């Protein structure tokens, strides 16, 4: 996947722009929408070759929430 690949076809937002927003602190789809304008179009079916909105592609790029701390101490007995 090239960094210049378009992720949001409605707004012509590239993977690079979304990565940049994430590196600047975007954590949710809403952050990405506000920072890049991606995922704010309404012609996804016509413009996106996948025929769907870019939201799932953007969600896949967002940092995953950290795993909860284990409820055991890790000793192997508790
Ligand atoms: S492809 Fe992103 S809003 Fe349509």
pLDDT tens per residue, range 10-59: 999 999 999 999 999 999 999 999 999 999 999 999 999 999 999 999 99
Q: Show the domain range for 27.
A: 6-61
Query: Ligand 1 test: best mutation among 5, 48, 50, 61, most atoms within 8 Å of CB?
Result: 48
Q: Report yes or no on 38 lying in a domain.
A: yes
Q: What's the pLDDT score for residue 25?
A: 96
Query: What global pTM score does this model have?
Result: 0.80
Q: What atom of ligand 1 comes closest to residue 52's alpha carbon? A: 1
Q: Report yes or no on 70 lying in a domain.
A: no
Q: What's the pLDDT score for residue 31?
A: 97
Task: List ligand 1's pocket residues with C-beta within 6 A.
Answer: 8-11, 38-39, 41, 44, 48, 53-54
Q: Report yes or no on 57 lying in a domain.
A: yes
Residue 68 pLDDT > 70, yes or no?
Answer: no
CA distances (Å), origin 61, targets 17, 65, 66, 67, 69: 12, 12, 15, 17, 23
* Domains in the chain, number: 1
Q: How far is CA 29 from the centre of its chain?
A: 6
What CATH number has the domain bearing residue 45? 1.10.10.1100
Q: Report yes or no on 55 lying in a domain.
A: yes
Q: Report yes or no on 71 lying in a domain.
A: no
């Amino acid at each position: 996947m090239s960094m210049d690949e378009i992720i949001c076809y409605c707004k012509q937002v590239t993977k690079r722009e979304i990565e940049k927003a994430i590196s600047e602190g975007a954590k949710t789809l809403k952050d990405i929408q506000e920072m890049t304008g991606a995922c704010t179009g309404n012609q996804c079916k016509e413009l996106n070759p996948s025929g769907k909105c870019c939201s799932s592609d953007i969600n896949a790029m967002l940092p995953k929430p950290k795993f909860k701390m284990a409820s055991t101490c890790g000793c192997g007995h508790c």
